[in-house]
Amino acid sequence: MTLVTNHLPTAELQALDAAHHMHPFTTGDELNAKGARVITRAKGVYLTDSEGNEILDAMAGLWCVNLGYGRPEMGQVAARQMNELPYYNTFFQTTHVPAIALSAELAKLTPAHLNHVFYAGSGSEANDTNLRMVRVYWAEKGQPQKSHVISRKNAYHGSSIGSGSLGGMTYMHAQGGMPIPGIHHIGQPDWWAEGGDHTPEEFGLARAQELEEKILELGAENVAAFIGEPVQGAGGVIVPPSTYWPEIQRICKKYDVLLIADEVICGFGRTGNWFGCETMGITPDIITIAKGLSSGYAPIGGSIVSDEIAEVINACEFNHGYTYSGHPVCAAVAMENLRIMQEEDILSHVHNVAAPALHAALETLGEHPLVGTVNKSGMMASLPLTPHKESRAKFAGEGGAVGYMCREHCFANSLVMRHVGDRMIISPPLVITPEEIEVFTKRATQALDATYKDLKDKDML
Ligand code: PMP
């Protein structure tokens, strides 16, 4: 067996990676030509790469490491569970203690009517579950034709063919035969980019009313559900105007359309409450969870459904499930994550310390000439870059080139900020301290300044 460890030189690790590892959402040839960054360890909010750089991770991995890296309790619980019961399934009339404990705990943490969990290994799988479950729900109620699902353009719900179809990313739909039939996309509530001369409130209402138009076009008797992220994450941290979600809720109720809140990013404290639906003041029928459920320490996701849906689904055999639904090690790790979050009162830290410090930092960054506005909700934010703040102008071309430039300057300054098009994205571990936020602000300012200089030099401003 080839012994591959942290001790190998970076170039050797990169060569092996290029030879054998295919990366998600990546042009392999380009990456392989330059070599991937090799992350070797992490603690708190800092990553260490194979060259010894200490990088501040203002993305919490992929919006998931809410507790921060390197909590030894998580590893201890995983080891204990691996020794006691590393695996058993929850098919064929069996269950196990980690799945029981986690389900009961989730029922306590979620809004009162959401008490039943169907597990998956990821957010994508959980959204696939939702797609099938809402259709089975209506079929069991004698309305099998009530099967269409409405989502939004620029939504992200996962990468499988079902969840990718629910998502509204055109560059994903362009590959592999998506979207599948029966899924429809309405406009997103992105006032900054698409609101024109409307006030945010007018625009929020108008975009929500597109749901009503689509339901009427399809016939309410044919529409099973609407799905949306309380705050769109991968679409660019799009915080909807205050008028948006109440109107969506009203429309769903009026036409008997189930409301699915995809909480894969927003859940578990990201927006400042346990769930984004609380922040947005909505009552969904189903929430999708993953990421922050285990702070990314183990792959686990799920759908938490209302008492009413569970009553209908439990009355039939739902022919659906995954080998790793409720995996005992992942469930035990998720449970430990929830224990730490509650015992250390991470939500109070967010509320009293981290979010106020982050918001103050974002205000400072918002004054930078390149930054068009600050979109924020709790501990997630985006900074759209613009050549002209007042007119909310976009850079010429398809978008993304300037964001990419800025992201590269971030990396050069030992900071991870992701870019979505020309928006810079911030979603740090929830445990980040004000001192670490100062480091973030300093590095982000340097990256913005360097991007500004590049654009001036290239006559792009
Ligand atoms: N839903 C949302 C809102 C997400 O942000 C993501 C992942 N970024 C997913 C679903 C898919 O989750 P996973 O990558 O775990 O399949």
Q: Residues 387-442: pLDDT tens digits?
A: 999 999 999 988 999 999 999 999 999 999 999 999 999 999 999 999 999 999 99
Average pLDDT over residues 370-378: 98
Residues belonging to the chain: 461
pLDDT at 212: 98
With a cut of 90, say whether residue 1 has pLDDT above it: no
Which residue's CA lies nearest to atom 13 of ligand 1? 123
Mean pLDDT value across the chain: 97
Predicted local confidence at residue 360, as pLDDT: 98
Q: Which atom of ligand 1 is nearest to the CA of 291?
A: 15
Q: Residues 98-144: pLDDT tens digits?
A: 999 999 999 999 999 999 999 999 999 999 999 999 999 999 999 99
Q: Which of 294, 333, 314, 380 is nearest to 67 (CA)?
A: 294
Our answer on whether the CB atom of 154 is closer than 6 Å to any ligand 1 atom is: no
User: Packing angle between helix 328-343 and helix 97-109, nearest 10 degrees?
Assistant: 40
Q: Residue 387 contacts by C-beta under 8 Å, 6 or more apart in sequence? A: 393, 394, 395, 455, 460, 461
Show me where the domains of the chain are located. Answer: 37-70+345-457, 73-343
What is the architecture, at CATH level 2, of domain 37-70+345-457?
A: Alpha-Beta Complex (3.90)
pLDDT on residue 277:
98
pLDDT tens, 258-277?
Answer: 999 999 999 999 999 999 99
In degrees and rounded to multiples of 5, residue 225 shows phi and psi of: -160, 160
* pLDDT recorded at residue 461: 87
Start-to-end CA span in the chain (Å): 54
Q: For ligand 1, is residue 122 a contact (CB within 6 Å)? A: yes
Is the pLDDT confidence value at 352 over 90?
yes
Cβ atoms 165, 183 nearer than 8 A? yes
Q: Which CATH class is domain 73-343?
A: alpha beta
pLDDT higher than 80, residue 341 = yes
Q: Is the CB of 265 under 6 A from ligand 1?
A: yes
Nearest CA to ligand 1 atom 12: 123
Residue 320 predicted with pLDDT over 80: yes
Tokens of 264: 């894969």
Mean pLDDT value of segment 341-350 = 98
Task: Please work out whether the CB of residue 290 comes within 6 Å of at least one atom of ligand 1.
Answer: yes
* Residue nearest atom 1 of ligand 1, based on CA coordinates: 157
CB 121 less than 6 A from any atom of ligand 1 = no
pLDDT over 90 (residue 253): yes
Note the pLDDT of residue 398. 86
Q: The whole model's pTM is what?
A: 0.98
Pocket test for ligand 1, best of 265, 287, 295, 420 (most atoms within 8 A of CB): 265
Burial class (CB in 10 A: 0-12, 13-18, 19+), 222: middle
CB atoms near residue 22 (< 10 Å): 9
Question: What does the pLDDT average to over 333-347?
Answer: 98
- Among 229, 242, 154, 236, which Cα is nearest to 199's? 242
| High-pLDDT (> 70) share of the chain, % | 100
Tally of CB atoms within 10 A around 379: 24
Give yes or no for residue 2 having a pLDDT over 80: no
CA of 123 to the centre of ligand 1 (A): 5
Q: Ligand 1 mean position to 234 CA, how many Å?
A: 8
Residue 169 vs residue 1, higher pLDDT: 169
